[in-house]
Amino acid sequence: MNRFPKPDFESGYVYPQQQFVIPNEVLWSYIDIAVLVFLMGFVTWALIKKQIRWPVVLTSVVSIFYFGFFRNGCVCGIGAVQNVVLTLVSDSYSIPLYLLLLFTLPLVFAIFFGRVFCAGVCPFGALQELVNVKNWKISKSVSTVLGVFPWVYLGFAVLFAVTNSRFIICRFDPFVWIFRFGGELPLILFGVLLLIFSVFTGRPFCRFICPYGAILSLFSKISFRQVKITKKECINCSLCHNACPVDAIYPPYQNKVNEIRSKGVHRILRYVVFMPLMVAAGVTIMYMLSDKISRVNNDVRLYDMAMGNETNHSNVLSLELEAFWGREQTLEELAVRVEEVQKGFRIWSIIIGAFFGLVIALKLIHLSTKRGRKVYDISSAECVGCGRCFSYCPQNQKKIS
């Protein structure tokens, strides 16, 4: 746009028509969204309609090379969680439409078709899927305990985002440094370690770390069209259960010793009664730790450094303190900002603490719930849509008459 009105020439001069070139990054953002939708649609067709695995493998390869190495591993909705929550609480921040679509589109697909984004479209899940060659089982109790961590990770990510402190999901991403062929050594080693674990057990990052996967699991639980092992009658051969790398296929309880119903009901009622206590414990612990946690914020950390320098005066200042004194700000002004930040941490720590207590209580109730099943059934919340169970089912090997 022109900042000033154009001069009006009396000679009849006509200004040439201007054409503006779309910036490359904006153009690539359109391409990313198009590729995202196409791949999720392709996986949906394979899992829901055809019940075949090879399109998932093909999608995984494409995702690793395009979203992973070509787009440097940052084209995903995992880190966009932080942008979304910051937009909801801050008037000074507005999420770009591109990031909003990256966050919401996989959720929309999850409502209708389950976790098709996790199947092979996410480059992190795709990388783990392709290296997985073994299927060592993790006990249900251990996996349930580890399954709490994504929610804890999500809680802290929200806490640090709404207080405008740090985007920890992006900061501690274990795979993006692999896609970029460089980065901080501890994170590279952590990513390599996760890949090694992925060889022997299915997708440890997706199951026990990824906060976005936790959100997708909630949406997938109520999905309209869910992944089915076979369109025919299950014969309880257990082959699909043994083949599932993420233990998302539950066996029928008729194969086990039945528990007295009243005993199970009483156990669940105890957890329900203690749920408010767990929530209160989470609130108390997080509130007590809120001031210490707030030191993640740059202003709080800077104030601590400044007060430490005032107490033990040193002529050698850190770069942060030099920049602070160079802006001619006072400690009193910084103290006011710090008080506001810590107040925000106290309020949000109460909310996040209640969330932690509720998650733990619901996990205990879920672990204690034993629903009657006559056949092997997929847990839509835990299924990542790898499609391995399809080829193992004997019923799928028969021709449909």
Q: Give pLDDT tens digits for 129-177.
A: 999 998 888 888 888 889 999 999 999 999 999 998 989 998 888 898 8
Separation CA 260–CA 64 (nearest Å):
49
The Cα 33–Cα 71 span in angstroms is: 12
- Both 181 and 232 in a single domain? yes
Query: What are the tokens at 379?
Result: 């847990």
Q: What is the pLDDT of residue 4?
A: 46
In 3D space, the residue among 39, 40, 72 whose CA is nearest the CA of residue 173 turns out to be 72
Whether 11 is in a domain gets the answer no
pLDDT in tens, 4-54: 455 655 555 665 665 555 567 788 888 999 999 999 999 999 999 999 999
| Number of DSSP helices (H) and strands (E) in the chain, helices first | 20, 2
Q: Using pLDDT thresholds of 50, 70 and 90, give the confidence band for residue 400.
A: very low
- Domain-located, residue 6: no
Angle between helices 123-131 and 185-200 (to 10 degrees): 50
Same domain for 173 and 96, yes or no, is yes
Return d(Cα 314, Cα 280) in angstroms, integer. 44
Q: Are 91 and 174 found together in one domain? A: yes
Are 197 and 296 found together in one domain?
no
pLDDT tens per residue, range 323-381: 776 776 778 888 888 899 999 999 999 999 999 999 998 888 777 766 677 889 898 99
pLDDT of residue 255: 45
pLDDT in tens, 55-81: 999 999 999 999 999 988 876 788 889
Query: What token pair was written down for 371?
Result: 């629903």
Shared-domain flag, residues 283 and 201: no
Residue 22: the pLDDT is: 53
Residue in this structure with the two tokens 């004997």, named with its chain if needed: 394
Question: Do 247 and 265 sit in the same domain of this protein?
Answer: no
pLDDT at 74: 72
Residues 6+ apart with CB under 8 A from 339: none
Each residue's pLDDT tens digit, 367-399? 776 667 788 989 899 999 999 999 899 988 765
Query: What is the rounded (10 degree) CA torsion for 392, 396, 397, 401?
Result: 170
The answer as to whether 340 is a domain residue is yes
181, two tokens:
């062929």
262 or 182, higher pLDDT: 182
300 versus 366: which is more confidently predicted?
A: 300
pLDDT of residue 112: 95
- Residues 150 and 278 occupy one common structural domain: no
Question: Which amino acid is located at 243 in the chain?
Answer: A
Q: Given pLDDT bands bounded at 50, 70 and 90, which one contains residue 195?
A: very high
Instruction: Verify that 390 and 294 share a domain, yes or no.
Output: no
Q: Is residue 1 part of a domain?
A: no
pTM of the model: 0.86
Does residue 182 share a domain with residue 35? yes
Please, how many CA atoms are within 13 Å of residue 165, restricted to the half-sphere of its CB?
A: 26
Q: Do residues 208 and 129 both lie within one domain?
A: yes
What pLDDT, on the 0 to 100 scale, is given for residue 150? 95
Q: Tell me: do 124 and 222 sit in the same domain.
A: yes
The token duo for 109 is: 């697909």
Q: 281 and 135, same structural domain? A: no
- In-domain check, residue 9: no
- Please count the structural domains in the chain: 2
Look at residues 105, 127, 125, 101 and name the one whose alpha carbon lies nearest to residue 40.
105
Confidence of residue 306 (pLDDT cuts 50, 70, 90): confident
Query: Cα–Cα distance between 70 and 77 in angstroms, integer?
Result: 17
* Half-sphere CA count of 266, side-chain side, radius 13 A: 5
Ranges of beta strands (E only) in 234-378 are 249-250, 377-378
Whether residue 12 lies inside any domain: the answer is no
CA distance 94 to 88: 9
Q: Is residue 19 a part of any domain in this protein?
A: no
In the predicted structure, residue 189 carries a pLDDT above the cut 60: yes
On whether residue 240 sits in a domain, the answer given is: yes
User: Which residues touch 133 (CB under 8 Å, ≥6 apart)?
Assistant: 199
pLDDT of residue 1: 46
For residue 117, the 8-state DSSP code is I
Mean pLDDT of the chain: 85
Give residue 96's domain range: 24-252+378-397
